[in-house]
Amino acid sequence: MVEQVWIQFHQQLLNFIKSKVKDKSAAEDILQEVFIKVHQHLANLQDEKKLSSWLYQICRHSITDYYRKLKPVESDIDLDSFVAEQAPENCDEQINSCMQVLIKELPDNYRQILLDSEMNNKKQAELVNIHQISLPAVKSRIKRGRSLLKDKLQLCCDWEFSEQGISPDCKSGCGCQ
């Protein structure tokens, strides 16, 4: 059955993928991934009349996955390791103090996720069970929480970088001092 699907649809699907992905070899790779998924799940298709739309849906998802892999991951500074390598010990305590205060000021849905992931070193898969939300929701809240935390930290503290490391100069009244 998969062979028949290949014969009937591979050129159409390849053309569709090429219209969305300009790299020919990437388009061919995506098509191969599509047919791997088709091979794995074709038996689950209950209505053969929906085969074409099902195939295009798999293509769209595979194209989305391709672009997600290409998109550079927004890297957040691993503050703990950066501080451990660069900053004097008294600075480490001040940064941790700032982080604790600023995390507590975040909205509830971001605060607890960040406390668990960043301060308590819990894995994202654990957070799914703890907070009873999906993995994409956990990832999204961590990313948004980090962004909010970064903004708060930048508003609150100025960081000086020197050969001796980093030292924060926090503004009075920001809650960090």
Report the run of H or E that residue 173 belongs to, with start and end: none
Report the run of H or E that residue 156 belongs to, with start and end: helix 135-156
- Alpha carbon 51 to its chain centroid, in Å, reads 32
Are the C-beta atoms of 156 and 102 separated by less than 8 Å?
yes
SS3 state at 134: coil
What is the pLDDT confidence band of residue 167, given thresholds at 50, 70 and 90? low
SS3 state at 88: coil
CATH of domain 2-70: 1.10.1740
Domain 79-170 architecture = Orthogonal Bundle (1.10)
Q: Measuring CA to CA, which residue among 28, 30, 40, 24 is closest to residue 61?
A: 30
Structural domain boundaries in the chain: 2-70, 79-170
Common-topology check for domains 2-70 and 79-170: no
User: 76 is written with which tokens?
Assistant: 């957040």
Q: Higher-confidence residue: 136 or 88?
A: 136
For 22-71, the DSSP string reads --HHHHHHHHHHHHHHHHHHGGG---GGGHHHHHHHHHHHHHHHHHHHHS
Are the C-beta atoms of 113 and 138 separated by less than 8 Å?
yes
Span 91-138, pLDDT tens digits: 556 666 777 778 888 888 888 888 888 778 889 999 999 989 999 999
pTM: 0.44
SS3 state at 95: helix
Are the C-beta atoms of 21 and 32 separated by less than 8 Å?
no
What is the pLDDT confidence band of residue 13, given thresholds at 50, 70 and 90? very high
pLDDT number for residue 99: 74
Q: Measuring CA to CA, which residue among 90, 82, 114 is closest to residue 100?
A: 114
Are the C-beta atoms of 138 and 131 separated by less than 8 Å?
yes
What's the one-letter identity of residue 123? K
